[in-house]
Amino acid sequence: METLTNSPEETKALGKNLAGNLAGGEIIQLIGDLGSGKTTFVQGLGEGLEIKRKILSPTFLIRRSYRGRLNLEHLDFYRLNSPLDLAGLDLDDILGAPKTVVVMEWPERVGLDRGEKAKKIYFEYVDENTRKITQ
Ligand code: ADP
Ligand code: MG
């Protein structure tokens, strides 16, 4: 399904909508360039999961964890260069956590995009206010 969004709010609404279909245990991979709206989408998803804290980009931390109706593990591998860089992260624990949705930005930086378990959502910059989101 392909959607054009014309504002950050519309992208958040898509994320919020997806949250309503989640039960925990899902792995969602967001694929697209810098500024294509991935983190914005996660902010809406977090709202849909009833997470009260503000969702910030985890780029510099790699991982941010939130509690809500379901917990959210928000991972961002932009700064990593290879699967070896995942060594310090308890990925099995994160992926196996109960009542938790795992969302990853830049899974391709660490070779995690090749798994089949994850739902992939693609983001494309169209123009300043428009993004194409394919899920
Ligand atoms: P990414 O995580 O993919 O690097 P961000 O979500 O952090 O991207 O940033 C997207 C930027 O684009 C934000 O500054 C946001 O305000 C802006 N923007 C403009 N139009 C849209 C849109 N339709 N959807 C999402 N973000 C948009
Ligand atoms: Mg981001």
HSE, CB side, 13 Å, CA atoms: give it for residue 131. 25
* pTM, to two decimals: 0.97
Q: Is 34 in the pocket of ligand 1 (CB under 6 A)?
A: yes
Per-residue pLDDT, averaged over 82-107, amounts to 95
Q: How many residues does the chain have?
A: 135
Buried b / exposed e along 86-101 (16+ C-beta atoms within 10 A): beeeebeebbebeebb
Q: What is the pLDDT of residue 53?
A: 94
Q: Mind giving me the DSSP string for 48-61?
A: HTT--SPP---TTT
The reported pLDDT for the residue numbered 59 is 77
115 Cβ closer than 6 Å to some ligand 1 atom: no
- Residue 79 Cα to ligand 1 midpoint, Å, equals 19
What is the model's pLDDT at position 117?
87
Six token digits for residue 6: 């014309």
Residue 71 beta carbon below 6 angstroms from any ligand 1 atom: no
pLDDT above 90: residue 115:
no
What is the Cα–Cα distance from 72 to 86, expressed in whole angstroms?
19
**pLDDT score recorded for residue 116:** 81
